Copies of this chain bind each other. A is one copy, B any other.
């Protein structure tokens, strides 16, 4: 069994632990009313998008998400939240260095012994959710769960839904599809982007991801009888019918959207296995991107 499979399966337990830590870290996480930027790279950037939309949507203050490399340095933020599994990613470390001390910084990381320890003002350590696989699963979802719990938006039902997502069979015919489009609205847009990335990293699939209402503005043109369109959370009215009219498979569930992401992780691993790919060591990727310094 790959590390990725073991780590994926451990998510319900990790989420319970992460949620329980939210109160302990209250003093270093964004307070209501603060203007906040949330940053990361790759999977962490997509979790940043989900958290920023959840936070602003719940009325706790303006919250922007940026890929660390695209941070708009002219702006002022009360606090910058960095998500970094390894604590070594070059763009994140450079960004933290540059925004201090104007912004208070907090890093959510799996490894308290890496350079992010000195780069951020505060640390939230989720070492129990660290991973051996290059492809991230449980660290990312546990970090989001902790942040969601801090916002008062985590429920035990989300954990039970993740257990269901691990136990129940995937929709029939899905692994054989040739193209996958993932859609979200609000905080689930970030989940859609992460789902697309997971599928391409682990199984080299042709995947796309969009805010759901954007799908009709061009991307639906690639949908056909060989493809699948997967909605995170509630779908816009009429969209399921329009997608089915293209011949594509429409996928949605009543699960908590973060638990629904677990189903995509399983799909990605199933497709990887069918192709003889190793999700612990995907093509051209390393666990953390550390760039040569000029």
**A294 close to B74 (CB less than 8 A):** no
Query: Which chain A residues numbered 187 to 227 have a C-beta less than 8 Å away from chain B?
Result: 189, 197, 200-201, 204, 206, 208, 211-214, 216-224
Q: Which of A41-49, A98-106, A148-156, A160-168 binds B?
A: A41-49
A114 within 8 A of B: no
Identify which of B69, B185, B238 contacts A214 (C-beta below 8 A).
Answer: B69
Q: Evaluate whether A220 and B285 lie within 8 angstroms (CB atoms) in the complex, with A211-B67, A291-B238 already known.
A: yes
Most chain B CB within 10 A, of A45, A64, A72, is at: A72
* Chain A interface extent, by class: 35 or more
**A284 close to B221 (CB less than 8 A):** yes
Q: A57-B72, A62-B72 are in contact. List 8 more A-B contacts (CB 8 A).
A: A42-B218, A45-B217, A56-B72, A69-B213, A70-B211, A91-B213, A179-B206, A221-B285
Identify which of B67, B223, B242 contacts A213 (C-beta below 8 A).
Answer: B67
A172 within 8 A of B: no
Nearest first, the 3 A-B pairs at minimum CB distance are A42-B217, A69-B213, A41-B217
Number of this chain's copies in the complex? 2
Identify which of B57, B64, B219 contacts A200 (C-beta below 8 A).
Answer: B219
CB-CB under 8 A from A57, the residues of chain B are 72
Query: Which chain A residues numbered 47 to 79 have a C-beta less than 8 Å away from chain B?
Result: 56-57, 59, 62, 64, 67-70, 72, 74-75
CB-CB under 8 A from A294, the residues of chain B are 237
Complex: A57 Cα to B219 Cα, angstroms:
29
CB-CB under 8 A from A223, the residues of chain B are 284
Identify which of B59, B200, B214, B222 contacts A74 (C-beta below 8 A).
Answer: B59
Could you show 25 A-B contacts with beta carbons less than 8 Å apart? A42-B214, A42-B218, A43-B217, A62-B72, A62-B74, A62-B75, A64-B64, A67-B213, A69-B212, A70-B185, A179-B206, A197-B218, A197-B219, A200-B218, A200-B219, A206-B206, A208-B208, A217-B289, A218-B285, A221-B283, A221-B284, A223-B284, A224-B283, A242-B284, A246-B284
Smallest Cβ distance from A274 to chain B, in angstroms? Answer: 17
**Chain A 251-271 against B: per-residue CB contact (8 Å), 1 yes, 0 no?**
000000000000000000000
Across the interface, name the chain B residue whose C-beta is closest to A292.
Answer: B238
Across the interface, name the chain B residue whose C-beta is closest to A224.
Answer: B283
Smallest Cβ distance from A235 to chain B, in angstroms? Answer: 13
Complex: A260 Cα to B292 Cα, angstroms:
29
Across the interface, name the chain B residue whose C-beta is closest to A239.
Answer: B291
CB-CB under 8 A from A64, the residues of chain B are 64
Q: Evaluate whether A284 and B220 lie within 8 angstroms (CB atoms) in the complex, with A74-B59, A185-B70, A186-B70 already known.
A: yes
**A56 close to B74 (CB less than 8 A):** yes
Q: Evaluate whether A218 and B201 lie within 8 angstroms (CB atoms) in the complex, with A59-B74, A213-B67, A223-B284 already known.
A: yes
